[in-house]
C-alpha cells in the first residue's frame, strides 16, 4: 500500500511539474534581449571544434536537442527538409545536449542534412548566451546573418513557425525590416 501511495505522489508531482514547465514556456518573453549576440564553439560529430560564426553571413536556425528527447526527434525531419529547401538563406545547426557516443550513433540513422555540434553542460551554456534560462528541450534560436538573436523558441517547432521565421529572415535580408522589427514580428510566435 505504501509503495502504491508513493507511485501516485510521484505521478502527481510529475504532472504538476509538466504543467508548470508548459506554463513557463508559454510565458516566454515576447522579444529577444536587445544585446543578445550569439557566439559559441562546440565540437562536431568528428570532434572538430566549430564556431557558430562559421556560418556568419547567413541567418541560422540553431536547434538544441537530445537523442532521448521525443519532441526533439520529431523535429529532425522538418529541420532536414528546411535545410534542403532553404540552404541559400538559412543554415540549420543542431546542438546536441547529449553524450558524444550517443549522438554519433543516432546521427548514423537520422540522416542529418545540417551540421551537428555536441556538448552537455557546454551546450546548455551556449543556449544561455541568448540571455534566456535553459529550461528544457527542444529549444530553437533564430539568429540573424550577423549573429544577433532574433527569436528564442522554447518547445517543439512546427512547419508554420519555421515558415514565419523564413518570411521574417527574407524581409530582414531585403531591408524591409530592421532587427527590432524582426523581433517584433516574431514576438508572439
CA distance 66 to 71: 9
The domains of the chain are located at 1-30, 32-186
The Cα–Cα gap between 76 and 101 comes to 18
CA gap 47, 21 in Å, rounded: 33
**pLDDT score for 129:** 82
Q: What does the pLDDT look like over 83-107, one tens digit per residue? A: 999 999 999 999 999 999 999 999 9
pLDDT recorded at residue 10: 32
Report the Cα 86 to chain-centroid distance in Å: 17
Mean pLDDT over 140-169 rounds to: 96
Contact (CB, 8 A) for 84 and 111: no
Fold entry, domain 32-186? Glutaredoxin (3.40.30)
User: What is the pLDDT of the chain when averaged over all its residues?
Assistant: 84
Handedness of CA 57, 61, 79, 187 (dihedral sign): negative
Looking at residue 188, its pLDDT comes to 74
Amino acid at each position: 500500500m505504501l509503495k502504491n501511495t508513493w507511485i501516485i505522489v510521484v505521478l502527481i508531482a510529475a504532472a504538476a511539474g509538466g504543467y508548470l514547465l508548459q506554463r513557463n514556456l508559454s510565458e516566454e518573453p515576447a522579444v529577444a534581449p536587445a544585446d543578445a549576440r550569439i557566439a559559441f564553439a562546440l565540437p562536431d560529430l568528428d570532434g572538430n571544434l566549430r564556431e557558430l560564426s562559421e556560418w556568419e553571413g547567413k541567418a541560422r536556425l540553431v536547434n538544441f536537442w537530445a537523442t532521448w528527447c521525443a519532441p526533439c526527434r520529431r523535429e529532425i525531419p522538418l529541420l532536414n527538409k528546411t535545410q534542403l529547401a532553404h540552404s541559400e538563406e538559412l543554415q540549420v545547426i543542431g546542438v546536441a545536449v547529449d553524450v558524444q557516443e550517443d549522438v554519433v550513433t543516432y546521427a548514423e540513422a537520422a540522416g542529418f542534412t545540417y551540421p551537428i555540434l555536441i556538448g552537455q553542460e557546454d551546450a546548455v551554456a551556449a543556449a544561455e548566451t541568448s540571455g534566456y534560462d535553459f529550461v528544457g528541450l527542444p529549444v530553437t534560436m533564430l539568429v540573424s546573418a550577423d549573429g544577433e538573436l532574433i527569436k528564442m523558441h522554447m518547445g517543439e517547432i512546427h512547419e508554420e513557425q519555421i515558415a514565419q521565421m523564413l518570411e521574417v529572415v527574407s524581409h530582414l535580408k531585403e531591408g524591409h525590416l530592421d532587427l527590432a522589427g524582426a523581433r517584433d514580428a516574431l514576438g508572439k510566435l
